[in-house]
Amino acid sequence: MEPKEASFSANLLGRRCSRIQALEHSFDGAVRNPYNALFIETDDGASYRVLFDLDTFFCQTEPPRAWPSKGRNTYRLVEPQELRPLFGRLIRSVDFDPISGGGRCLLLRFEGGGELRYWDEALVSRLSVDASSNT
């Protein structure tokens, strides 16, 4: 695990996820990347902006905000409904798993079941959520 990934992991482990929002990117009014970045907020008031550019992981402590529009590109914050069941759950593991094509995937696992997978594929960020509960 790279230093920035280890730091990110240490900051999330054992914290409760209070909210996750996505930064949606549109070009000429059409959504091109529904998960350009994620803002993960924790119960201690911290907020982390995470994104992948190809297989490079970027993380910064930053409150959720939409990026300024530039030319034909626009951005807005959205709260994907599929993420809501993860709110309030304890983050029990943070991993960066390899995926086919040489990239990596951020994998968050939650106490009581559920996981979030976030990765970049062909210049578009992907999100997979399993909000099941095994309690």
Assign 91 to helix, strand or coil: strand
Given a cut of 50, whether residue 130 has pLDDT beyond it is: yes
Task: Quote the number of domains for the chain.
Answer: 1
User: How far is CA 115 from each of CA 50, 75, 82, 83, 111, rounded to the nearest angstrom?
Assistant: 16, 26, 11, 10, 9
In a domain, 8, yes or no: yes
Domain around 100:
3-130
In a domain, 135, yes or no: no
b/e 64-73 (16+ beta carbons within 10 angstroms → b): beeeeeeeee
38-57 pLDDT, tens digit per residue, is 999 999 999 999 998 877 88
CA distance 7 to 16: 17
Residue among 108, 129, 111 at smallest CA distance from 50: 108
CB atoms inside a 10 Å sphere around CB 93: 13
- The pLDDT value recorded for residue 120 is 87
- The pLDDT value recorded for residue 100 is 80
22-40 pLDDT, tens digit per residue, is 999 999 999 999 999 999 9
Under 8 Å between Cβ of 119 and 52: yes
CA distance 123 to 95: 21
Residue among 131, 104, 124, 114 at smallest CA distance from 5: 104
* Mean pLDDT on 97-114: 88
- The pLDDT value recorded for residue 134 is 62
In a domain, 35, yes or no: yes
